[in-house]
């Protein structure tokens, strides 16, 4: 197991699932990645943890009262000052969906909608740094989205979260900005403008790429468990990847990294 102590400031540090089928999702991801679905916490709206070999890897929850789950994965970006981040984010055009809230001694969380309309969490670690397992099967590998306002998105994440992304232009005229780990130069998150990859009617959203040791085998498991393949497996910059959805409709990528 490859571990890190904490995420760099501005980088994805946690991810959770808002699912309309709690029990089904608990079974699905346990079978797909070998995770353990921990008991829900009544004191925290029945929020629960997925763990991998006893280490927290992701969170999950169902409907929140009259707010129905929308079957999405949501990343959280690390900050050392939630209130300061929210101030800059709103000045740059974001909307606060959930203001800063202390979560026991674990940390402080908030949720915003960025100027492009994407939902993203903000996490100021206390006793809980977020996911600490990386570079392993069933661990988060990468987070990214495509938008038709590429320049606006890059500028927003630079101002609100301190990104200094590596920007590139591709031969076919597309643009990409990668937020790299300042210590290892490993790509952690990215923004692109390939909106033609979105399905008809699909709005831009953050995607989580889950690492797989064998993406073809993982796809077979997804299908066997009632999930769907949204985009066939293909080779790309990160490795061999496919876009899939769980049985409730939550979308994500499976990726077998280049070695």
Distance of alpha carbon 153 from alpha carbon 168, whole angstroms = 15
Predicted confidence band of residue 198 (pLDDT cuts 50, 70, 90)? confident
- Region 119-148: mean pLDDT is 96
User: What are the structural domains of the chain?
Assistant: 9-259 (3.10.180.10)
Rounded mean pLDDT of the chain? 95
Distance of alpha carbon 188 from alpha carbon 196, whole angstroms = 23
Give the pLDDT of residue 212.
98
Q: Is the pLDDT of residue 64 over 80?
A: yes
Percent of the chain residues topping a pLDDT of 90: 86
Q: Is the pLDDT of residue 71 over 90?
A: yes
Give the pLDDT of residue 222.
98
- Region 164-172: mean pLDDT is 88
- Region 15-28: mean pLDDT is 98
In terms of average pLDDT, the best of 167-171, 196-200, 228-232, 233-237 is: 228-232
Residue 196 burial by Cβ neighbours in a 10 Å radius (0-12, 13-18, 19+): exposed
Give the pLDDT of residue 1.
59
Q: Is the pLDDT of residue 247 over 80?
A: yes
Give the pLDDT of residue 170.
80
Distance of alpha carbon 14 from alpha carbon 78, whole angstroms = 8
Give the pLDDT of residue 36.
98
- Region 229-256: mean pLDDT is 95
pTM of the full predicted structure? Answer: 0.96
- Region 28-47: mean pLDDT is 96
Residue of higher predicted confidence among 211 and 259: 211
Angle at 196 between CA 192 and CA 202, to 5 degrees: 95
- Region 69-85: mean pLDDT is 98
CB atoms inside a 10 Å sphere around CB 40: 17
Distance of alpha carbon 146 from alpha carbon 100, whole angstroms = 27
142-to-92, 125, 223 alpha-carbon distances in Å: 25, 20, 23
DSSP string across 113-160: E-TTS-EEEEEEESS--S--EESSTTSEEEEEEE-S-HHHHHHHHHHH
Distance of alpha carbon 173 from alpha carbon 194, whole angstroms = 10
């Amino acid at each position: 197991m490859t571990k890190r102590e904490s995420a760099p400031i501005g980088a994805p540090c946690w991810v959770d699932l808002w699912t309309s089928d709690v029990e089904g999702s608990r079974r699905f991801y346990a079978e797909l990645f070998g995770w353990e679905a921990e008991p829900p916490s009544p004191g925290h709206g029945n929020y629960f943890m997925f763990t991998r070999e006893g280490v927290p890897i992701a969170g999950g929850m169902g409907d929140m009262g009259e707010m129905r789950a929308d079957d999405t994965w949501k990343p959280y970006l690390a900050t050392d000052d939630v209130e300061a981040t929210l101030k800059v984010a709103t000045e740059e055009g974001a909307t606060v969906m959930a203001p800063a809230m202390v979560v026991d001694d674990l940390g402080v969380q908030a949720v915003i909608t960025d100027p492009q309309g994407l939902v993203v969490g903000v996490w100021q670690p206390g006793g809980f740094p977020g996911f600490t397992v990386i570079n392993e099967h069933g661990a988060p590998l990468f987070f990214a989205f495509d938008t038709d306002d590429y320049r606006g998105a890059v500028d927003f994440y630079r101002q609100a979260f301190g990104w200094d992304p590596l920007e590139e232009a591709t031969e076919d005229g597309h643009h990409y900005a990668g937020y790299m780990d300042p210590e290892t130069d490993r790509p952690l998150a990215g923004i692109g403008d390939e909106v033609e990859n979105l399905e008809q009617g699909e709005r831009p959203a953050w995607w989580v790429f889950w690492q797989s040791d064998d993406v073809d085998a993982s796809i077979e498991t997804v299908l066997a468990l009632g999930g769907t393949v949204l985009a066939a497996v293909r080779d790309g910059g990160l490795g061999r990847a496919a876009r899939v959805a769980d049985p409730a409709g939550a979308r994500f990528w499976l990726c077998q990294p280049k070695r």
